Amino acid sequence: MHSLPGRLAARLALLALATGLLPALAPAAYDPSEMIAPIAAPFSMPSLQRPAFPDRVVNIVDHGAKPGGEVKNTAAFAAAIQALAEAGGGRVLVPSGVWLTGPIHLRSYIDLHLAEGAVVKFSDVMEDYLPPVFVRSGGIELYNYSPLIYARDCENIAITGPGRLDGNAAAWWDWKSRETRQSFAMGATNLPVEKRVFGTREAAIRPSFIGLVECKNILLEGFTIGGGPNWTIHPIYSENIIVRRVNVDTDGPNNDGLDPDSCRNVLIEYCTFSTGDDCVVLKSGYDQDGRRVGRPTENVVMRHCTSKRGHGGLVIGSEMSGSVRNVFMHDCDFTGTDRVLRIKSRPGRGGVVEKIWVRDVTARDLQREVVILNMDYSSDPNAPVDNFPPTFREIHVSRVAAVGAPVAIRITGLKDSPIRDITFEDMTISSTRGVIASDAKNLTFKNINLTITKGPRFELTEVTNASLDQAPLNN
């Protein structure tokens, strides 16, 4: 056994508390004056600060909004946003109360502010979200029902405040079992995007809750969100994004928490996630359509977040054909999630996942692996496979303490694209099985403390150049 670094030892001490609970990291009260700490990442990333807005306030009540959750206020929201945009921007105030509405379309220099006690409840009538708008859905560019909150080609936009966004989307969830796969065929055959039009009950694709396309300088802060039709927060082709002190509490099908999709310069901090799918998941397009667009997700920092439920705390893929690079997660806690880190792809997807760092993480009662890197993932086993293998490389995991998991680490590469250049250092894990790896090379393990109850600590198949504390590991 090796001595542990002080910070990791302290985290393990917390894990051993008689209560058996991890330290709580619930978001503090919304405080717009709170400074955003500098970003110290192992790659070059610009400093991110909140966008500035003119000192104007427009109350939705002044444009005819009625509380109570019975009258649709779609027109009132639109009128308030338009009036403020024409004046040069500012804050759209949603006061305390329940406000029913259809889609909200943001404009540049607009801060949609949810006051204490405000609940924005969205209509469950699908036709309210027409006409179709441009989005990327499942990694394919197309036109579909509007997201519940939508913006395109905007700058300096925000959703802030301690209120709540309620997607009210149970009616959409029934579509999961019959959603069309037509969009994937459209992407594979390079059908012009303007001809990929959905937005009918027959051509069923559920929209995201928040969809922000080609936007920059985005702030999402302080609110609670849940009950969306599909992915919850979905920025697409956007940059300079701050998501902080947001509580994502949702359990519908495919209810990922946050999906930066071909985005750059993203800061996620002090958020909590309890989701029906992945918590934070980085995307960059699906197969041929993703490679056609060719825009990576890059420069992402996730810090001081906690996840209570979800398929993975930090996930990359499987739609990653445009590549993902420069990602740093640190000082996070996970309880009851399936995994801490999950990077997933499949043969034919293409793309490169590289320069990923995970550091100073505690986890408890995981349902699957602590860390999994796998290239054999597929949500559609009948999907065609072309000649574009994915690449995973330069992934570094350190100072992780985890108690209770079926598997510590699982690595599954491809024979023609082994997962390579991976380091694990200063980790203490209690699990049923240890490290299971196949089709990989250049795996480095340093100061790894494994307590397992089944099988050998290391199960290696077709792995080259693996070492434990500088001693070779054999297959």
Annotated active-site residue 311? The verdict is yes
Distance CA 204, CA 275 (A): 23
Catalytic residue among 278, 311, 333, 338: 311
Distance CA 49, CA 145 (A): 32
Among all chains, which residue has been given the structure tokens 């993703």?
290
Catalytic residue among 166, 261, 277, 287: 277
CA distance readout (Å), 461 to 82, 410, 466: 61, 12, 11
Between β-strands 458-468 and 471-473, what pairing exists: parallel, antiparallel or unpaired?
A: antiparallel
Show the tokens assigned to 117: 């006690």
Show the tokens assigned to 249: 């509490």
Among all chains, which residue has been given the structure tokens 């992934």?
395
Q: Phi and psi of 83, rounded to 5°?
A: -60, -45
Q: What angle do CA 152, 202, 122 make, to 5 degrees?
A: 50
User: Could you tell me if 115 and 65 are in contact, meaning their C-beta atoms sit under 8 angstroms apart?
Assistant: no
Name which of 470, 374, 458, 383 is nearest 419 in CA terms: 374
Give the 3-state secondary structure of residue 23: coil
Distance CA 443, CA 460 (A): 11
- Which positions are annotated as active-site residues? 277, 311
